[in-house]
Amino acid sequence: MDEERIDAIAALLRAQVVSNRWWLSGDDRIAAESAAEILGVAVATLEKWRGAGNGPAFFRFGGGGHRVSYRLRDLAEYIQRSRVG
């Protein structure tokens, strides 16, 4: 994959997160709701992708792993990987 392109996408995503004043962790993770908005899908779609083992990489925290977050770089890699053509 083109690392420079992924870095550029991640920077654009970070600007969107900051502009929308969404929660952003110190290591550039965002909530599942924000990730769904960025990808233009429903939160339920992200849940299905996680269950099926596809979609962007994610983190699961909390008792029972109920808190899910996505690193902006992982979203950028997923977006780049999904490119056709």
Question: By three-state DSSP, how is residue 22 classified?
Answer: coil
How many angstroms separate the CA atoms of 48 and 1, rounded? 25
Beta-carbon contacts of residue 20 (< 8 Å; ≥ 6 apart): 34
The pTM of the full predicted model, rounded to 2 decimals, is: 0.92
Domains in the chain, number: 1
Q: Which two tokens stand for residue 37?
A: 């908005």
Beta-carbon contacts of residue 17 (< 8 Å; ≥ 6 apart): 24, 30, 34, 72
- Tell me what pLDDT residue 1 has: 59
Structural domain range at position 37: 3-81
pLDDT in tens, the chain (85 residues): 599 999 999 999 999 999 999 999 999 999 999 999 999 999 999 999 999 999 999 999 887 767 999 999 999 999 999 989 8
Amino acid 14 reads: R
* CATH at residue 57: 1.10.10.10
